[in-house]
Structure 1
Amino acid sequence: RGLPWEAFRATLDRRHLGLALLGLAHTVLLWSGDILGGYAVLGFVLTYAFYRRTDRTVRLWRNALAWVMAVVAGLVALFTPLVMWALAMGRETLPGEGLDLDALIQESAQEVGQASDASWLVDLPERLAVWLGASITMPLVLTVTVPMLTGLLWARRGLLDRPAEHRRELTRIAVVGIPAAWLGGLPLALTPLGVWPDPVSPLLTTGVHLATGVLGGLGYAALLGLVAARLEGRAGALPAPARALSALGRMSLSGYLLLTALMAPLLAGWGVGLGRDLGTAASLGVAAAAWLVALALAVVLDRAGRRGPAELLLRRITHGPRRAPTPAL
């Protein structure tokens, strides 16, 4: 739009500040697992470090960080079994002095359960501490930073803005990324079912899942780009499920906050406390029900021609109050 860089950067700064404030409110009121604060910090860093850099510079940094992520995941996969084997051997050869991993895991689970039983006010300092630490260190989480830099490159090339022009590349990304994520997450998914052998460490299966999950995220984004290319020009004739998903996508920030507002009081110890007793299937049912509520609300707002409340608030913080147009003389 021809804005000077300083004015445009100030707009982005206000947007990131607004995300941080929403994340802080989210944490204070409901949950320490907020991601908005981390996205705000990462947004500040990437704006000042990369926004005016060339594609080549961004690509070099993205590739370098991706290699670091792959090497770290490989080292974890290589050395974790050795360390756990040594600990197991020490437990067997030094009775009474060895490390009882099962007891440690059970004790940790009990501590988590006791923490979740704390009252809302007692739990507040811990929620704030966890949120602050996670937000500040977000740029160091390569499984987030690498996709963000990839998204910057995609946006510059219009991969998802003009998907019909990039069908071949999007197909290649989807075909590689989605199966990689499924295979990488398979050990973690099968372990609780007893199908996967007794794991040497949750760190190993979780690390592989996170590393391959980056490829899966990019793969699913590419797949949705292909779907959008196929449906392009059919906005008035989209099937109802596609229109509903599109409506929720346009209020994704409000939907994200709504999910916490629905689930935290049900699951947390300071609320109803269902999280202590629900199994995997029941927890999945609660999450699916909350998501369907968010989907229904998005459809209602979309039909009324209204945006999500969180989106409106963030826009107000970013651009200020909407001014009425000046009448022509």
Structure 2
Amino acid sequence: MTASVPEFAPVAAPQRVAALDALRGLALLGILLSNVSGFAGPLLELHDGIDPALRGADRAWATFVYVAINDKAWSLFALLFGMGFATMLARAQAAARGFVAVYLRRSLGLLAIGLIHAWLIWAGDILVTYALCAFALLALRKLSAQTWLALGGALYAAGIGWMLLIAAALTVPGVAVGGPQDLAAAQAERAAEVAAYAHGDYAAATAQRLWFFFDFVVSGWTLMLPLTLGLFLIGAGLARSGVLADPQRQRERLRAMLAWGLAVGAALTAASVALTATPSTAVFTARSMLAQTLHLAAGLPLALAAIAAIVSWLHAGARWPLRFAAAGRMALSHYLTQSLVATWLMYGYGLGQWGRWSYSTLILAALALFVAQMAFSTWWLRRFRFGPLEWLWRAFTYARWPPLRVERAAG
């Protein structure tokens, strides 16, 4: 009698890694808070730090988001993407099923969703970058966990090193500060964003999104692709080493991740803010470039510390992180919903609230939206196995419709 081979298929809820879902939910909240200023203001100013014009509660919220969340949330999400890849690869190997075709379809599906998001909904998309790096991740699937970690660290360090070289080059007299024409061009680009999004119709907003994608996102891939792939590989290496599956055996590594991650991340963030809390991207200077580089570099150690903390707390019996797990299981659906809701509220072709809400109001609205998403996730997943977009994505990935409704026990 021949033993049956387990089928490689969408993972059932009881088999999911709770820590991964909880961390994904927390990262999703951080990404939403990071994106608030990009929903209600020019994307070209998204990395300009704390607006010096803000006062009172607005400044307090902006400071908190910039110091504690910006560059940390997306770094955490990228690490989790790599962890998900390693988990999926391990399941495929355990099931003795082919992985390449499935993951290629998965990545193509993510690329399609990302392009729809970037071109038709919100220009601040990260999914296209993730999808492109996913193809590279697939090509590196046969490497060991230690090689993943080493290569990931090298790629991430190369990206940070490139930014440091740019900062050094900007110390050369005449290079650091552009002329009046450069500043005027930057101001015109920002004014075009405001005109398209705040006052334009859907066609004007879409044209602006396409311009931003091909002029800024594509050119930014020279930095973002190695950084993102580096984070993917680090996350994959950590997952394969057993950080999620066996935290008891990995407790020393988790303690080191927490202690060193907090220390190094806090030091880099403090140094960045000490240089300037308002690094301008309109016209780069050595100071603003160095501040942005240090701030970005702080994202990895602090994201590693967050992973270590949540995994350790869950292993010790803490339950509160699991409240974010349902939202984490529906992260793709919620990510696109956040963009749809925010652009409908803010843009001229929606309710036209661009520029009418204070920063505090934007943050409180974002928190209210996320609380609603958490509640909806719990309600939805009691009835269905996947989020709506996750279900469609899995159907494309596995070339068949997976069961959607949760089967209830009879009697």
Q: TM-score, normalised by structure 1?
A: 0.78
Distance across 1 between alignment mates of 2:180 and 2:223: 31
CA distance in 2 between counterparts of 1:273 and 1:183 reads: 41
Q: Which has the higher helix share?
A: 1
Question: In structure 2, what is the Cα distance between the partners aligned to 1:305 and 1:128?
Answer: 35
Please state if 1:61 is matched with 2:140: no
Larger deviation, residues 111-120 vs 211-220: 111-120
Which stretches in structure 1 are left out of the alignment for 5+ residues?
89-97, 193-198, 325-329
Name which of 96, 104, 108 aligns with 1:3.
96
SS in 2 for 1:312: helix
Do 2:120 and 2:209's aligned partners in 1 also have CA atoms closer than 8 Å?
Answer: no
1:37 corresponds to 2:119: no
Number of residues of Structure 1 aligned to a counterpart in Structure 2: 300
Is 1:317 the counterpart of 2:396? The answer is yes
Q: Pick 1 or 2: higher relative contact order, CA cutoff 8 A, min separation 6.
A: 2
- Equivalent position SS for 2:143: coil
Are residue 145 (structure 1) and residue 229 (structure 2) matched? yes
Q: Which residue of 2 aligns with 1:18?
A: 109
For residues 272 and 12 of structure 1, the distance between their equivalents in structure 2, rounded to whole angstroms, comes to 39
1:177, 1:244 → 2: CA distance?
24
Measured after TM superposition, the shift of residue 51 of structure 1 is 0.3
Matched, 1:290 2:369: yes
Cα distance in 1 for partners of 2:219, 2:121 equals: 20
Deviation of the 1:151 alpha carbon:
1.0
> Partners in 2 of 1:278 and 1:183 — Cα distance?
33
Cα gap change, 1:136 to 1:206, in 2 (>3 Å): closer
Q: Deviations over 1:177-197 (max 9, x none)?
A: 2343344344459735xxxxx
- The worse-fitting range, judged by mean Cα deviation, of 79-88 and 117-126 is 79-88
CA contact (8 A) 1:181 1:215 kept: yes
User: Tell me, what secondary structure is at the counterpart of 1:164?
Assistant: coil
Which among 187, 198, 207 is matched to residue 125 of structure 1?
207
In the alignment, the residues of structure 1 paired with residue 175 and residue 118 of structure 2 have an alpha-carbon distance, to the nearest angstrom, of 39
How much does 1:59 deviate?
3.7
Change (3 A) 1:82 1:226: farther
Q: What pairs with 1:77-116 in structure 2 (closer than 5 Å)? A: 77-82=167-172, 87=177, 99=180, 106-116=187-197
Task: Show the counterpart of 2:315.
Answer: 229
- Which digits, 9 at most, give the CA deviation of each residue in 1:60-119, with x for residues without a partner? 42233233234224334444455579649xxxxxxxxx6488766655543332232322
Query: What is the rounded CA distance, in whole Å, between the counterparts of 1:74 and 1:2 in structure 2?
Result: 45
Further displaced range: 54-63 or 281-290: 54-63
Compute the displacement of 1:286 (Å): 2.5
- Unaligned regions of 5+ residues in structure 2, if any? 1-93, 279-284, 405-411
The question of whether the paired residues in 2 share the 8 Å contact of 1:34 and 1:131 is answered with: no
Alignment match, 1:95: none
> Cα deviations across residues 133-187 of structure 1 (Å, max 9, x unaligned)?
7379658523322111101111211212222221221121122223433443444
* TM-fit CA distance, 1:11: 0.5
Contact 1:258/1:294 (<8 A) preserved:
no
Partner of 1:249: 328
Query: Quick check: 2:145–2:241 contact (8 Å CA) kept in 1?
Result: no
| CA–CA distance in structure 2, aligned partners of residues 230 and 139 of structure 1 | 41
- The match for 2:343 is 264
For structure 1, which segment, 31-40 or 119-128, has the greater mean C-alpha deviation from structure 2 after superposition? Answer: 119-128
Alpha carbons of structure 1 residues 79 and 18: separation in structure 2 relative to 1, 3 Å: same
Does the CA contact (< 8 Å) of 2:310 and 2:321 recur in 1?
no
Distance 1:249 1:86, change over 3 A: closer
Question: 1:143–1:211: 8 Å Cα contact kept in structure 2?
Answer: no
Deviations 1:238-292 (CA, angstroms, capped at 9, x unpaired): 4xx5442111112111221221122111122332232323333232222222212
CA RMSD, Structure 1 to Structure 2 (Å): 3.2
Return closer, same or farther for 1:54/1:252 CA change in 2, 3 Å cut-off.
same
Q: Which one has the largest radius of gyration?
A: 1
Question: Residues 163 and 289 of structure 2 are in contact (CA less than 8 Å); yes or no, is this contact kept in structure 1?
Answer: no
Q: Call closer, same or farther: CA 1:201–1:316 in 2, change over 3 Å.
A: same
Q: In structure 2, do the counterparts of structure 1 residues 69 and 263 end up closer, same or farther at CA, with 3 Å as the change threshold?
A: same
- State yes or no: 1:277 paired with 2:395: no
Paired residues of 2:111 and 2:127 also in contact (CA < 8 A)? yes
Match of 1:180 among 247, 264, 269: 264
Q: Is the contact made by 2:268 and 2:298 (CA closer than 8 Å) also made in structure 1? A: yes
CA 1:139–1:149 in structure 2 vs 1: closer, same or farther (change >3 Å)? farther
1:166 corresponds to: 250
SS at match of 1:311: helix
CA deviations 1:17-50 (Å, max 9, x no partner) are 11112222323441122222221111111101x1
1:74 to 122, 142, 164: 164
Structure 2 counterpart of 1:12, which letter?
Answer: Y
TM-score (norm 2): 0.63
